[in-house]
Amino acid sequence: MIDAETTLPTADQFDVYTGNANPELARNICRYLGIDLGRMEVFEFANENIFVRIIDNAREKDVFLIQPTSRPVNTSIMELLIMIDAFKRASAGRITAVVPYYGYGRSDKKDQPRVPITARLIADMITTAGANRVLTVDLHQGQIQGFFNIPVDELTAVHLLSGHFLRQMIDNPVVVTDLGFAKRARTFAELLDAPLAIVEKRRIGNQDRAEVLNVIGDVKGKRAIIVDDEIDTAGTLIQIVNALQREGVTDMYACATHAVLSDPAVERINASMLKEVVVTDSIPIPPEKRGGKIKVVSLAPLIAEAILRIHKGQSVGALFTSEVQFTQEMLLWDMEGNGGESGLGAPGGNGPRVSGGNGQSAHAEEADVSGRMTESSGN
């Protein structure tokens, strides 16, 4: 047993840092873990060159860099690569690139003559920069894991999103998805004990839109929950809504892990028959796009638990197998202001208190998963 006041050896500590892509998510991850966010400068000079300076000592530390490659996509990618290089040259013990949203994920194959596989290129760049492993959430296709020659842990938000709809107790639901997300949608449907329907669609050239051809499955008279990995312009989503309406669906909801929400997505959603659209904070959502029909749930507790388990050498996959209930109930963490009152892993609760952030160490007695969830559910 290590006393809470004891300073651990440097190699037993880990730090969490962030670029400019989604600092709010990084702060919430640190709040769950009960640590301070690592200190680092990341900014652009007048000539648009990116500069990174690590303020804390990183030597032999286990370092986690939070940086989704979201808008502005190319700047976010360069920030991530330069941060990785900076920590490599600062002699960090291990560097994990935490990429909640993997940009260029759609460019994962040669579907036309003389086109690149950009998802593979980005994977090569992250590896060459010096990352030792990658932690990500709901890749556009699972094959992207194979583009890396380093370990990749892919989390999924399916359990968090399904937990939200379980609490709503929707009568007579049916889960609707396209073929690309069918495997994870099947898990979603099983968690809700609902049937699964498939939407057949095809993408039209290089235009950012698709054509819905058919709905496969019995949806008439049911309440549909449309599931996908991301919502960009919401064009495909609205086509699915229109197709389901023609098939006699009564109420419609939608959910997705990544809320890209390129214009005019919000306008399309608010003008549609959708009652609610649930997304995560893998990508920062500006205030003007929040509210209305769009509800945001936080990935912070899921990513934080994965970070803790990677650092300790514990199973990450258990979050989606033997500990599914714990993962679903992570929704409780941010029901009252991103965890300020919940206690699920939050400072002052029974969650993990670990070393990190400015070299500070506060390692409390390790509670097991069920113990953490019991306290959380009581709040």
CA distance 247 to 377: 39
Backbone angles phi, psi at 151, to 5 degrees: -60, 140
The answer to whether 55 and 25 have CB atoms below 8 angstroms apart is: no
As a residue count, the chain comes to: 379
The 152-155 sheet, strands edge to edge = 14-18, 62-66, 94-99, 133-137, 152-155
Cα-Cα-Cα-Cα dihedral sign, residues 333, 334, 336, 337: positive
Q: State the DSSP string of 13-68.
A: -EEEEE-SS-HHHHHHHHHHHT-PPPPEEEEE-TTS-EEEEE-S--TT-EEEEE--
Catalytic pick from 201, 222, 293, 312? 201
Specify the DSSP class assigned to residue 232: S
89 half-sphere exposure, CB direction, 13 A CA radius: 10
Q: State the DSSP string of 321-343.
A: TTTHHHHHGGGGGGTTTTTTTT-
CA distance 253 to 244: 11
Q: Among this protein's residues, is 201 annotated catalytic?
A: yes
In terms of DSSP H, where are the helices of the chain?
23-33, 73-89, 118-129, 158-168, 182-192, 235-246, 265-271, 300-312, 324-328, 369-378
Q: What is the dihedral of CA 262, 267, 271, 276, to 10 degrees?
A: 60
CA distance 233 to 236: 8
96: nearest Cα among 87, 105, 104, 108? 87
250: nearest Cα among 174, 317, 193? 174
The set of catalytic residues is 201
